[in-house]
Structure 1
């Protein structure tokens, strides 16, 4: 299980390039396989976690879809725009998430409520009785998103995907985000800042023109885009 998730995160990039290029995003599994696996164009949570969900189900695992609210450390009310997978294994429940970019956990996270854990990722319950996925940072635990264990369907994912792809205030409509979690390094690009995050240090590169962006996307993330598309991406995020 852990190997499947690790290899997925190392091989297939998280990105919202299709959103910014105004390309349709299909949630049909055949289209996701064609885009993410065959053409190596990557995608975001509704694509990656649909793919992981269906792979695990095909292997006989007990999985179902959940849809979470991304808060990123804030006490805010947000729509359910993040697809994740609930895995039930040997009487325990886990969150499997291949679609949270540079912050994606590289192993399933067990739902075991503890405020004293020193694990990289943990799940707690908040005052509203929702679960929270938290990641350990030098400043302490940081909440990534909130979720519950209600039953969700493909229709909920279609709605969340539509918001993420179309709403003028959606993060992915206004920012370029690309990530790839390699074995020892996490590559994370947001707009004009490119971070190569190692175990002991982080290299930060400022992106100053579309040709540099084109080179990084093609050579580092191995996403085949054209110079024309790169210029459009740079222009959108340079407003």
Structure 2
């Protein structure tokens, strides 16, 4: 990431260049990123070849504000922290949401080493993304503003489990040396495989402070985690979808692409019923 790119990125996050590069700044960055840049499968749904070259992914997610998923969001955060002098590198994990422990490694996170301690950074796990650094030196309970998590650490891996408000294993990260080429292979599977969730379904999320916005195909759900308020809206047409994508998820998607995605999501909804 270049200096001018970092300046633009921080400006869009509402952050200043840090006077001290410490964990407090990383925590700020995590919260600001997931509040500003939405998780989105829109590009993956359209059979686009989504390059992870630094300038290309920065242009797509930050400059054009098209959203993305773990391979895009976590790479941008890693590049920003690298530019600031942090010791960061990629890792891959197995998503456990379906209860299977033999899933392929298709989730990218960032390993941060800071003052002899190790942490995971994740801004790309959709609506279940932790709003905090994940310490992994040993097994530990952690909490963000609203949720509880448990990190189970062993020699080879760390398993992150959501513990409150409900219990759910999230992912299993292995500490094998991971290169960008490893991430490229997993990314290709996630956005090109014909059975990939992100190829077939509209999935959006954005997490503001104590608020979660999610869109699964044409069902938009708002949750206020402080007041427990929940609202559901079933999207009726492409015009309504365009408004929600722009106003709620802060994405700039061409009208023709939104129309195409709407038709695909509507077909998914009809198949479910």
Task: State the number of aligned residues.
Answer: 236
Cα distance between partner residues in 1 of 2:66 and 2:259: 17
Cα distance between partner residues in 1 of 2:77 and 2:252: 23
Per the TM alignment, residue 52 of structure 1 is displaced from its structure 2 partner at its CA by 0.7
TM-score (norm 2): 0.81
Instruction: Determine the structure 1 residue equivalent to 2:162.
Output: 135
1:1-239 equivalence runs, <5 A: 1-72=26-97, 74-114=99-139, 117=141, 119=143, 120-125=148-153, 130-139=157-166, 141-199=167-225, 200-239=228-267
Cα distance between partner residues in 2 of 1:230 and 1:189: 14
CA RMSD of aligned residues (A): 1.8
Task: Tell me the secondary structure at the aligned position of residue 266 of structure 2.
Answer: coil
Deviations 1:202-222 (A, max 9, x none): 211111222211111122112
> Which residues of structure 1 form unaligned runs of 5+?
none
> Which residues of structure 2 form unaligned runs of 5+?
1-25, 268-273
Cα distance between partner residues in 2 of 1:4 and 1:164: 26
TM-score (norm 1): 0.92
Per the TM alignment, residue 125 of structure 1 is displaced from its structure 2 partner at its CA by 4.3
Contact 2:119 2:133 in 1 (8 A): yes
